[in-house]
A = this chain, B = another copy of it.
Amino acid sequence: MSEPVVILMTPQMGENIGAAARVMANFGLTDLRIVAPRDGWPNPRAAAMAAGALADVVTARAFENLEDAVSDVGMLVAATARKRELTTPVWSLSQTVAAMGASAGDDAPPAVLFGPEASGLSNDAIARCDAIVSYPVNTDFPSLNLAQAVAVFAFSWAAGGGDAPPVSVDAPPPAAKGDLIALQEHLIDALDRAGFFFPESKADAMKRGVRALLARPGFTLPEVRTLRGAIKALEEGPRPAALRRKAQKAQDDPER
């Protein structure tokens, strides 16, 4: 079974990295990845706080950016406060552990991503994630120490998710089916005009595949609108202003 990878995004203090490694080892996690640590890697303060975990149990590797750190990862979950401006679903710890356990037969391991001490995870990083895992914190004092946040996750994994009740997941409602169908047919018509459904003998099956692919996520209405805008933009190509600039450039360059 694939155990979760722990990823620390641009951590500042070596002590926190070491404490995170120690508690990972306590609860049987062994794959630690560190993205752009402030003080470089390896870090003697981390080794001191790890109480032997970095020498004996946990494999820690540093990466230059998040994309490299997650390239072989399957499910990616962000440990952060929920963001109202993103549609990323919010899971409890027990839901997260259950989902990771169910995905553990996959080739790609699941991973949990923790932000830096001072600022938390950026929206850019969260947008890479399948879900946010939310802790049942005191809203008047919500900010956990980084290594404590890792401790709670690692314990929850070791306990099998049984120690956490589900929090209500108030995912935004999916768009009405009519809006979804309009999106499906918009994309299919555009792809048809582009000659995408080829050869003709496979066209019907390909169209079904495109419809199913768009139906599965439960896109919200704003997402449907964004996707329809994207299809229109791709089909029409650059905006008139850009076109005008292009035309001007062609006039200025008589060899074209």
Contacts and interface: CB of A to CB of B under 8 A. Distances in A.
* Size range of the chain A interface in the assembly: 35 or more
Contacts of A102: 166, 168-170
Contacts of A123: 208
Interface string A133-175: 0011110111111011001100110111111111111100110
Contacts of A164: 92, 94-95, 159, 161-162, 164-166
A166 B98 contact: yes
30 contacts: A22-B145, A26-B135, A52-B141, A53-B141, A67-B177, A74-B173, A74-B174, A75-B174, A76-B177, A88-B212, A88-B215, A93-B159, A95-B167, A103-B174, A128-B181, A128-B211, A151-B151, A151-B152, A155-B155, A160-B165, A164-B165, A165-B166, A194-B233, A194-B239, A194-B242, A195-B242, A196-B230, A196-B234, A210-B226, A210-B230
Interface of A: 19, 22-23, 25-28, 51-53, 56-57, 67, 70-76, 85-89, 92-95, 97-99, 101-103, 106-108, 123-124, 126-130, 135-138, 140-145, 147-148, 151-152, 155-156, 158-170, 173-174, 176-178, 180-181, 184, 187, 190-191, 193-196, 198, 205, 208-213, 215-219, 223, 226-227, 229-231, 233-239, 241-242
